[in-house]
Amino acid sequence: MCGRFAQYRIAWEYLEPIGLQLPLVGGVDPKPINRYNVAPRSKVRILHQDPDGLRWDLVPWGWEPFWAKGKRPPAINARGETAATGKFFKAIWADGRCVIPADGWYEWVKDPSDPKQKQPYFIRRCDQQPMYFAGIGQFRRGGSEPKDGDGFVIITADSDQGMVDIHDRRPVVLSPECAANWLDPELPAVEAEEIIHRHGEPVDAFEWYPVGKAVGNVRNEGEELINQIAKNVFDA
């Protein structure tokens, strides 16, 4: 987790619930994003705070420090337990907080009798409202242009209290209020860690259901990817 998600609403449907009274740098596209199969390494709309306001930026999903380049693919997730203290994310933890608005994410469940067969599930909020993944990254600041090495990762936590049957990790999903706090550049590091460890949305805020296997191909796109299908015999 998390290796695929959906981001399909109009930008303002994500921005308004956060309620930050700050200028929006660069504006937003009024058309729906309409991405139902967001994959790693693609450019994704994220929200971060710039010195002159909020920025709704296109940033690659995946990041690595300069000293790790070429040794493995860029990381797409960061474990919440170690993101603040580990060497790998040290350069972006302190001032690289961002929020990744989303409408849900996908997980794959293995067939117990044939591990090569997997059933994809779509996980969304029970109230079907937007969700906000906590993230950290490297992105342009103060009017600068995007540069090589920019990217972001999604912070993950243990899937406990009922979601472990889908996957043992899940994104840290923030409420709109917590998302606003997370974006605040003045937020002390200890309080940022507190948000990650104690203020992610609980498991009972979500629902999940099986979807078609077409989502497994990154070339596939469209609303039909999140449509529920009849349950499979090996559903968890």
Structure tokens at 49: 């705070």
Residue 207 catalytic?
no
CB 207 within 8 A of CB 131: no
Closest listed residue to residue 7, CA positions, set 70, 59, 66: 59
How far is it, in rounded angstroms, from Cα 176 to Cα 49? Answer: 15
Mapped onto helix, strand or coil, the DSSP state of residue 184 is coil
Q: Report which secondary-structure segment, H or E, holds 24.
A: strand 24-25
- Please choose, from the candidates 71, 104, 114, 66, the residue with its C-alpha nearest in 3D space to the C-alpha of residue 87: 66
Cα–Cα distance between 181 and 143 in angstroms, integer? 23
By CB atoms closer than 10 A (0-12, 13-18, 19+), residue 221 is: middle
Contact in structure between 24 and 194 (CB atoms under 8 Å): no
Catalytic residue among 2, 64, 98, 178: 2
Q: Which of 64, 81, 98, 107 is catalytic?
A: 107
Give catalytic status of residue 2 as yes or no.
yes
Distance, in Å, from the CA atom of 54 to the CA atom of 92, rounded to the nearest integer, reads: 18
**Which tokens in the block code for residue 186?**
């003045």
Q: Which are the catalytic amino acids?
A: 2, 107
